[in-house]
Amino acid sequence: MTTERESPWIHPWYDEIEPIKVLDPTAWKAGSSDNRDHIFPIYLTDTMKWNGHLCLGLARGYRAAMVAFNELCDSPPQRGDFSVTFDRDTCMVDAFAYIAGIRSDFGRQNLRTIKIDKTGAVTGRDVYLVHRISTGGTVEIIMNFGDLDDFDELWELKAMMADVKSPHGTDFERYRELMQKLSYDVLTIPAKEFIEVRHL
């Protein structure tokens, strides 16, 4: 049993992933910060608390946000200054939305800054269309995570366990191991090895 201050996470590398630094003037406006220009670091574990776990989807959303901000911003991005179209509605949306301060409904004076368009969705590939509202800059990020080692095995194990109510045994342990390995890979492998970026 963990106390409130103990980490529920089992892998120490979670804390080694580079945080994403953002501005959030809403914190100053709401009176929860004295500094309008305070830079907040968002850690991988922050998104894990929001989502409840780390999976391949959450890792992909975190990495995509990092790549998008590097492409669109010369300084820390401001939360709420983005709209994103995703090609699926998995945990990647949760991570990106949390980091970028985007919403599918009213909030932060922006409306419907999350869109889902599954028309061209392909297993093993994500497409993010990221628009920076203040500048009009837009990038398309294509993440070919299906090309990573062990992805096919993970996908086969996932399909095998789809109808199992209480997974256990060797296959389940292998699935858990691969889920964390691939999440780590997505977060640490050089972007050029599996991510394409196009400025539109």
- pTM here? 0.90
In whole angstroms, give the CA distance from residue 129 to residue 96. 12
In whole angstroms, give the CA distance from residue 61 to residue 161. 24
Token readout for 86 is 């995703």
pLDDT > 90 in the chain, percent:
70
Q: CATH assignment of 14-145+193-199, given 3.30.1330, 1.10.3470, 1.10.1760, 3.40.1310?
A: 3.30.1330
pLDDT beyond 80 at 107: no
pLDDT at 129 (0 to 100): 96
Look at the block and give the residue holding tokens 């946000």.
65
pLDDT at 4 (0 to 100): 57
